[in-house]
A and B are shown apart, each in its own frame.
Chain A
Amino acid sequence: MHFIWETMTETPVLQIRGLDARYGTSRILQGIDLTVRSEPVAVIGRNGMGKTTLCHAIMGMGPICDGSIRFDGVELVGRPSHQIAKRGISLVPQGRHIFRSLTVEEHLQLVDQRRPRRWTRDRVYQVFPRLAERRQSTGSALSGGEQQMLAVGRALLTNPRLLIMDEPSEGLAPIVVDKLVATLQAVLAEGTALLLIEQNLSVAAAVSERLAVMVVGRIALETSARELLADTDTQQRLLGIGAAAGFAAAGPTDVERPM
């Protein structure tokens, strides 16, 4: 009982209230409410529902926002990206965004704070031995899996309070995804909060018990992984998972359309 009371009153790490976000005149997000506490949250949804815009809105990377995004109680809307990052949020972006002319080692030097923290360069190399082998390779010479490891290592080395991952499993071989999930579980065990954006329900469910389903710029459903996995009707309705739905799913044309 005591435990439940504690989780109920703890200050949320991230609290989003009534968030609208737009690019020019295209409204992408409408009235998003989402709270991340110490347990991970996964936002799932089909392509073009506004998931990446949500990441960019939190990080201050472009969209014009109305509403409130509070991190540890501090309002983030209107702040520049680098200040948001300095407060302790780190993004593993969709497409990984590795700097193509920097070596693996330079990527880590870039974010290494050289203070004794939980994550150090040595630890990143321990967790991803492959990166240690590729230490002197430039970003453009890395494989997709290696780039993803580097994107995760780079994000962790900033020692964030909140890690945001945008479609980390995209384009990776299943065995690499398994390794990634195992790493994430280890990271979470140390108390880093996580907001995971995924299209892949099984990856989302493996990492997070709390799921939020996003449909055309809104949170359509907040549920638990167990419930959603058991409810194929809802899966098909909101995610387009199931027979014949794979190709019928809303394509990217739905993304940027003004609403």
Chain B
Amino acid sequence: MKLFLLATLNGITVAGLYFIVAIGFTLIFGLMRVINLAHGSLYILGAYIGYDVATSTGNWYLGLAAGGVSVALAGLLIQSTLLDRIQGQEMRQSLVAIGLSIVIADLLLARYGGLAYQFDPPAILYGSVPLPIVRAYPTFRLVVVGAAVIVGLVIWLLVYRTRFGIIIRAGVDDRPMLSALGVNVPLVSILVFGLGAGLAGLAGVVGGSALSISPGEDARYLLSSLVVVIVGGMGSLSGTAIGALLIGLAEQIGLAYFPTYSVIVSFVIMAAVLALRPQGLMGRPE
């Protein structure tokens, strides 16, 4: 019982982290249809930048802000100079993004080496909270879940309650028509890319604090984001939340009960969803 509860709590925590990374991916890939296979690199870039700023200033919050803002700026740059020029050409966009992620990964390896880094979050977020049955649980992991909920609400409000959100959704339905109504669609996709990238950077700092930062994490988070978005349904915010929860729980419960085979659980779920409901759980048919 204790193991199950602990695995569930861990699953929800990981789901929160996956959600923050994947919601940015949903904005960029699911909604704007930019094949950003460098999303995992944006995550790890945010983590390292955040780490440098947090350790040199001694202020974790500054590190968090630096990770988010600098990666958002990097995202604006990447979309406006590289990916938007080849919008609609899936293969080229994929290759450019993969190439970019290899370059970023090597640069980071040169600068930070292969060691794992960990943050020191402020005391108020660290330590543990007493809980029934599992007795104590790391506070920061609960903070991750809270952060995911807040991020989810803010993005939902942006997409469904603002004019900018109307423009984003209209662009998903019919880009040429949106342009013909006077909206600068490339500019919109650059801004959305910046936002999604910023969320990945933010998640990097949060994830690096809850777990750790090391080379290879980029591929892990890219993969988890892809799986979450495909399971939840392209472009669906609620689908991203459900997908993140499903994958996070499956992964952690799998790790607790059958560690050898846990890696395949997410992919079994993805394969099942693709077979039974190809548009994803909350997606709509093309």
| B interface, size bucket | 10 to 19
Cβ-defined contact, A82 with B185, below 8 A: yes
Cβ-defined contact, A106 with B166, below 8 A: yes
Give chain A nearest CB distance to B71 CB in angstroms. Answer: 28
Q: How far is the CA of A111 from the CA of B182 in the complex (A)?
A: 8
Cβ-defined contact, B177 with A82, below 8 A: no
Question: Which of B169, B172, B181, B185 interacts with A111 by CB under 8 Å?
Answer: B181
Chain A residues near B182 (CB, 8 Å)?
82, 85-86, 111, 158
A61 at the interface (CB under 8 A from B): yes
- When C-beta atoms are compared, the residue in chain A nearest to B187 turns out to be A82
Q: How far is the CA of A82 from the CA of B167 in the complex (A)?
A: 13
Chain A residues near B166 (CB, 8 Å)?
102, 106, 109-110
Cβ-defined contact, A99 with B184, below 8 A: no
Question: Which of B167, B169, B180 interacts with A81 by CB under 8 Å?
Answer: B180
A91 at the interface (CB under 8 A from B): yes
Cβ-defined contact, B180 with A91, below 8 A: yes
From 86 to 122 in chain A, residues with beta carbon under 8 angstroms from any chain B beta carbon are 86, 90-91, 93, 97, 99-102, 106, 109-111
Q: How far is the CA of A93 from the CA of B174 in the complex (A)?
A: 12
From 74 to 89 in chain A, residues with beta carbon under 8 angstroms from any chain B beta carbon are 80-82, 84-86
Interface string of B153-169 (1 = CB under 8 A from A): 00000000001001101
B173 at the interface (CB under 8 A from A): yes
A212 at the interface (CB under 8 A from B): no
Tell me the count of chain A residues lying within 8 A, CB to CB, of chain B.
24
- When C-beta atoms are compared, the residue in chain B nearest to A105 turns out to be B166
Chain B residues near A81 (CB, 8 Å)?
176, 179-180
Question: Which of A93, A100, A109, A139 interacts with B180 by CB under 8 Å?
Answer: A93
B263 at the interface (CB under 8 A from A): no
Interface centre among B174, B176, B182, B184 (most CB of A within 10 A): B182
Cβ-defined contact, B181 with A158, below 8 A: yes
Interface string of B182-195 (1 = CB under 8 A from A): 11110000000000
Chain B residues near A100 (CB, 8 Å)?
173
B170 at the interface (CB under 8 A from A): yes
Mark A residues whose CB is within 8 Å of B.
59, 61-62, 80-82, 84-86, 90-91, 93, 97, 99-102, 106, 109-111, 139, 154, 158
